[in-house]
Amino acid sequence: MGPVTMAFPVRDRAALKDFKEGEAVSVTFDNVDGKATVVEMRRK
């Protein structure tokens, strides 16, 4: 599958400053207030 862009809430928005747009990442989700929320991001 090719690159995909999807929007999800992020628990710690300040952590996003460490990543560049278009960078390949792996994410961990958790259910926060009934929504799939990114709780951890790391570079691939």
18 in a structural domain: yes
Q: Buried b vs exposed e over 1-17: b needs ≥16 C-beta within 10 Å?
A: eeeeeeeeebeeeeeee
Work out how many domains the chain is built from and give that number: 1
1 in a structural domain: no
39 in a structural domain: yes
pLDDT tens digits, one per residue of 11-30: 999 999 999 988 989 999 99
pLDDT value at residue 43: 94
Residue bearing tokens 């994410």: 27
pLDDT band at 2; cut points 50, 70, 90: confident
28 in a structural domain: yes
Domain extent, residue 18, equals 13-43
The pTM assigned to this predicted structure is: 0.75
31 in a structural domain: yes
5 in a structural domain: no
